[in-house]
Amino acid sequence: MNTIGTLLRLTLFGSSHGPGVGCVLDGVPSGLYITEDDIQRDLDLRRPAASIGTPRVEADRVELLAGIQDDFTTGAPIVIFIANHDTDSSKYIKFRTVPRPGHADLTALNRYGDTVDLRGGGQFSGRMTAPIVAAGAIAKTMLASIGVQVAAYTQRLGCLVDEKERYLKDIRHASRENPIRAADPELALDMINEIMAMKEEGDSVGGVIRCLAVGLPMGVGEPYFDSLEGELAKMLFSIPGVKGVEFGSGFRSAEMRGSEHNDQFIIEDGEVRTITNNAGGILGGLSNSMPIDLRVAIKPTASISREQRSVDLERMEDTTIKVDGRHDPCIVPRAVIVVEAATALVLADMCLRGDFIAREHR
């Protein structure tokens, strides 16, 4: 399905090489102040950066078609359109017969048959994340109205890891000031060099994006099946290229002892807090008022310029494939704002569901 959310419902439409991509965001309370520039600012962060060897492309422009009037939400569904440009679909024809490793060509052909749109990856393209980012900017505004802030950064790129503990206030601006979206400007330089090296080798590299959300009140989540972790994971796994999601100490929890993993309680400024945050801000599927702390593993870009093994589906025999064109050797920096948006959309929906955000702004 192309719709996600319960009270804040996001529906995506469009495809990579059609007229454009967009979304309908329903359930946003009326009277919320949001300008086109606020949305455009986030969309610009998703743009590939030429300084890290990615192709220079025309900037996406957001078009607000409905639901926002004179910079205030009207309560009607918000409709956003982002036109496609510079699309050359000719090179995608051969992938219908010889599918690209790491892409959805083979699975989509099998599932939908010959009429499936595979131009530019069709509906499976990373381009579908542009409207997610636009909708996410609106979700962030909803969250800001109750004092919740969300920010993400590149924590790992290949073997280069930012080991430092980071706080939202530190990463918010830092991660926007370099094309890697790293919190540490020096590490960002090493990461740029790593991406350039991958480009030279005709290869690609993946990484980890960490996202923090602070200010979320205690009790957000709808257990049993709509736990906060479950809803976030579902949304985050919808982002193309995501191969792992973990909360707090995540998979590392398996090697810890209870005495080490338990986040012990203290009273701080009259509030119940925990000394550590191994739970990633979620206990029993409900927020516990500590920062939501999640990590998303992104695989290395599937399109690489090296020759790879594939199959000829007409002849049913082995063959090789070389994916021509300009390639983005790492999608992690572009996916940072996508993870931020996806997280904000889920948190805003869950806040509406738990009545932490009023359904109508008054």
Which residues neighbour 159 within 8 Å (Cβ) at sequence distance 6 or greater? none
Which token pair is 279? 């739970």
Which CB, 20 or 241, lies closer to ligand FMN?
241
Per CB under 6 A, the segment of 69-77, 254-262, 296-304, 350-358 that binds ligand FMN is: 296-304
Phi then psi for residue 226, to 5 deg, are -100, 45
Report residue 13 CA to chain centroid gap: 17
Which of positions 297-336 make contact with ligand FMN (CB under 6 A)? 299, 301-303, 328, 331, 334-335
CB of residue 121 to ligand FMN, shortest distance in Å: 5
Which CB, 290 or 338, lies closer to ligand FMN?
338
Near ligand FMN by CB under 6 A: residue from 338, 341, 342, 345: 338
Helix or strand run (H / E) with residue 234:
helix 228-237
Near ligand FMN by CB under 6 A: residue from 10, 29, 68, 103: 103
Q: Is 179 in the site for ligand FMN (CB under 6 A)?
A: no
CB of residue 299 to ligand FMN, shortest distance in Å: 6
Q: Is 340 in the site for ligand FMN (CB under 6 A)?
A: no
Per CB under 6 A, the segment of 22-30, 85-93, 239-247, 348-356 that binds ligand FMN is: 239-247
Which token pair is 5? 């959310």
**Calpha distance 331→219 (Å, rounded):** 34
| Best CA proximity match to 196, nearest among 303, 56, 330 | 330
CB of residue 186 to ligand FMN, shortest distance in Å: 25
Q: At what angle do helices 129-144 and 36-44 cross, to 10 degrees?
A: 130
Q: Is 10 in the site for ligand FMN (CB under 6 A)?
A: no
Which token pair is 177? 């000031």
Helix or strand run (H / E) with residue 189:
helix 185-200
**Calpha distance 362→358 (Å, rounded):** 9
CB of residue 356 to ligand FMN, shortest distance in Å: 29
Near ligand FMN by CB under 6 A: residue from 5, 121, 158, 281: 121
Q: Is 157 in the site for ligand FMN (CB under 6 A)?
A: no
Q: What stretches of 184-326 adopt beta strand conformation (E)?
A: 207-214, 242-247, 265-268, 271-274, 282-283, 286-287, 292-298, 307-312, 317-322
Closest residue to ligand FMN using C-beta atoms: 126
Q: How many helices (H) and strands (E) does the chain have?
A: 8, 18
Q: Is 245 in the site for ligand FMN (CB under 6 A)?
A: no
Near ligand FMN by CB under 6 A: residue from 129, 141, 178, 289: 129
Which token pair is 26? 């329903």
CB of residue 331 to ligand FMN, shortest distance in Å: 4
Largest CA distance in the chain: 71
Near ligand FMN by CB under 6 A: residue from 81, 92, 95, 124: 124
Which CB, 113 or 325, lies closer to ligand FMN?
325
**Calpha distance 57→304 (Å, rounded):** 19
CB of residue 328 to ligand FMN, shortest distance in Å: 4
Which of positions 185-224 make contact with ligand FMN (CB under 6 A)? none
Q: Which residues bind ligand FMN (CB under 6 A)?
A: 103-104, 121, 124-126, 129, 239-241, 299, 301-303, 328, 331, 334-335, 338
